[in-house]
Structure 1
């Protein structure tokens, strides 16, 4: 087995500069000698302490192996599928206001400010549509794009896999700026989440355990902070990219890296208040007093945002492949690979409710808006629930 591990590491050194998280995980599991390690835990019975009543439901088509997120802008939901279906959905009723058929398969999207809606093809072409569903421009960025685009401040921000951030004019598609990051020797081939703060800046993670703030108007780097540092001897051991979208509550911003650390700091400067050893590629969500995350084992943990003290840990959902978290009200919501949505009490981590959205994986974070909870599975089903 030692020979096999050494051979695998040599191949990875010669491989492309990017790798799939799933490929790495699968390879490591195979070398562990037992596929049973990843067997999902059985679901324990839960007495729902509140109901999630369906208000409306619709479908936009499957995302297949890609990670599509719905976007809310104004009074509408925007969603897309891998086959090129792009839709504007009325938030109140679930009726489709318009649908557009993008002429290529999509790798990510949509991004929208309610006026311009964009999605990116697997060939790296950005397609833009106005608020009637009419295509207004298309631009090639000459690279694969797996990160959800941002539309804010009249700019479309696209993050390519070759470490370029590209700012395009939202009305014309003309390039306004470009910010180039240095290519890492080895990084994760995944979408790196971007968090827009108003129409001024975005916060996003980088390879090598760092995250930073970028100005929307000109692409300038405002600040950059390490949350963790590579450690170990092999390329796999040293991977610690901040791939998930950072979270923000008040003036506190938090981020987590894969095989690295979780930490929170001041949004204005990026200065960290604390950090703890932790590993996650599904990100963080915050309440006023705590930050929540799930590690690769799907163990959910709550930390105090002021000093990083662990408040609780829930291990009931081991290896159920939990998706991105959402802290809302007094609960924490997370979907899993079998289409269940789990609700934890923020105060103590107790599981207080569960629903079955559908049978497809839920990787995107639920969205809380206007008293509704929106959930989209990778099968393309989007449902608005009303918590009662």
Structure 2
């Protein structure tokens, strides 16, 4: 009997044991962002624990908020992060270790966030060029010269690169050769990034401060992606910090923010559906998940959630007394965004703070969430398509 029990116990232990490789591991989810201190960070997206920190270049950093120091939002492709810097460099960084792989030097500052398509990194610079850089080697493929600085982050769809310039023009370029297909003059500077949906390119343009006298500070355009012909334009009224706000499309509706208003516009004809007065302006582009629009404010009420079906506010959360200039990212049921010296994760349903990370300098870039080697979450440029 004692022998039988021993064998039964041994059998239980053997069948109950599994190798470490047989145990299903929790998905590895990392959130990446940059700060004006010159660093790129990798944190555990669920806990906020730092995985690594890569100092790219702090040559312009003398502490605190430096208006001229800018590090772009990171982009991810096949284990590599690409980041632009106001020192004129585009960096490639290993996403697992934070080790620099290569650096490409432009002739002036890079404020544009890069875009990657088919192994090529596209990024704009204040030297008036849009660059196409090999993502593996860091060698230049081509450069296209516009008439002014390129703040806009490019969009690449069906082999065409769409990008705006401060010379008032939206350009469509062949992604492989850089040859211009068409250009469209919006009549005012383009700081924001284009959104491409259903054969249309949507872009915002912004007039200068003097335009407050006219009551018009910018427009949103719908332009045929193949021909460059305008379908409609929508006027955004009153001056604001909204020059960086990019439009997004969700279920056939365009959402934008201008001055103190968040506005919903029919994407087919440019007619306004509703607007919500939030009594302060925006520098953040909106993000939409499950019929909720998230956007950062410039009055210290750092993040606001809006029901897009009714145009009413769901919640607002105060995290810092300063402007929220970065656009939120929504993933894992959390809203990720940065502010002066800190990076935050809020509960997406109620807006409660889940965790907070002290970066030590202004976090003004959009975050990037990578889960098991794939970009994950909802972003201002594709609004929900990665969930």
Q: Scaled by the length of structure 1, what TM-score is found?
A: 0.69
* Corresponding position of 1:147: 152
Asked if 1:277 corresponds to 2:277, the answer is: yes
Specify which of 61, 71, 74 is matched with residue 75 of structure 2.
Answer: 71
Contact 2:115 2:121 in 1 (8 A): yes
Show structure 2 runs of 5+ residues with no match. 1-44, 61-67, 207-216, 376-387
Show structure 1 runs of 5+ residues with no match. 1-48, 184-188, 231-237, 375-388
* Corresponding position of 1:138: 143
Q: How do 1:219-230 residues align onto structure 2 when only pairs under 5 Å count?
A: 219-226=228-235, 228-230=236-238
* Corresponding position of 2:355: 353
* Structure having the higher Rg: 2
Contact 2:242 2:282 in 1 (8 A): no
Asked if 1:121 corresponds to 2:125, the answer is: yes
* Corresponding position of 1:100: 104
* Corresponding position of 1:51: 47
Q: Scaled by the length of structure 2, what TM-score is found?
A: 0.69
Residue 369 of structure 2 aligns to a residue whose secondary structure is strand
* Corresponding position of 1:44: none
CA apart distance, 1:179: 0.4
Residue 106 of structure 1 aligns to a residue whose secondary structure is coil
CA separation in 2, counterparts of 1:370 and 1:118?
A: 23
Contact 1:229 1:260 in 2 (8 A): no
CA apart distance, 1:65: 3.2
Residue 318 of structure 1 aligns to a residue whose secondary structure is coil
How many positions carry a matched residue from both structures?
310
* Corresponding position of 2:8: none
Contact 2:282 2:325 in 1 (8 A): no
CA apart distance, 1:178: 0.6
CA apart distance, 1:323: 2.7
Asked if 1:306 corresponds to 2:309, the answer is: yes
* Corresponding position of 1:19: none
* Corresponding position of 1:335: 338
CA separation in 2, counterparts of 1:352 and 1:108?
A: 30
CA separation in 2, counterparts of 1:372 and 1:351?
A: 26
CA apart distance, 1:151: 3.1
Residue 52 of structure 1 aligns to a residue whose secondary structure is coil
Q: How do 1:258-277 residues align onto structure 2 when only pairs under 5 Å count?
A: 259-277=259-277
In the TM superposition, what whole-angstrom CA distance separates every residue of 1:335-379 from its partner, at most 9, and x where no partner exists? 0022x11122222222221112x22211122122325899xxxxx
* Corresponding position of 1:170: 175
Runs of 4+ deviating beyond 6 Å: none
Contact 1:282 1:293 in 2 (8 A): yes
CA separation in 1, counterparts of 2:243 and 2:103?
A: 34
**C-alpha RMSD over aligned residues:** 3.2
Contact 1:290 1:304 in 2 (8 A): yes
Tell which has more relative contact order, 1 or 2 (C-alpha 8 A, sep 6+). Answer: 1
Q: How do 1:193-204 residues align onto structure 2 when only pairs under 5 Å count?
A: 193-197=193-197, 200-204=199-203
Residue 49 of structure 2 aligns to a residue whose secondary structure is strand
* Corresponding position of 1:214: 223
Choose 118-127 or 168-177, whichever is displaced more: 118-127
Contact 2:283 2:325 in 1 (8 A): no
Choose 151-160 or 89-98, whichever is displaced more: 89-98
CA apart distance, 1:291: 0.8
In the TM superposition, what whole-angstrom CA distance separates every residue of 1:292-330 from its partner, at most 9, and x where no partner exists? 222211312211010111112223422254532222232
CA separation in 1, counterparts of 2:330 and 2:269?
A: 24
CA separation in 2, counterparts of 1:166 and 1:111?
A: 15
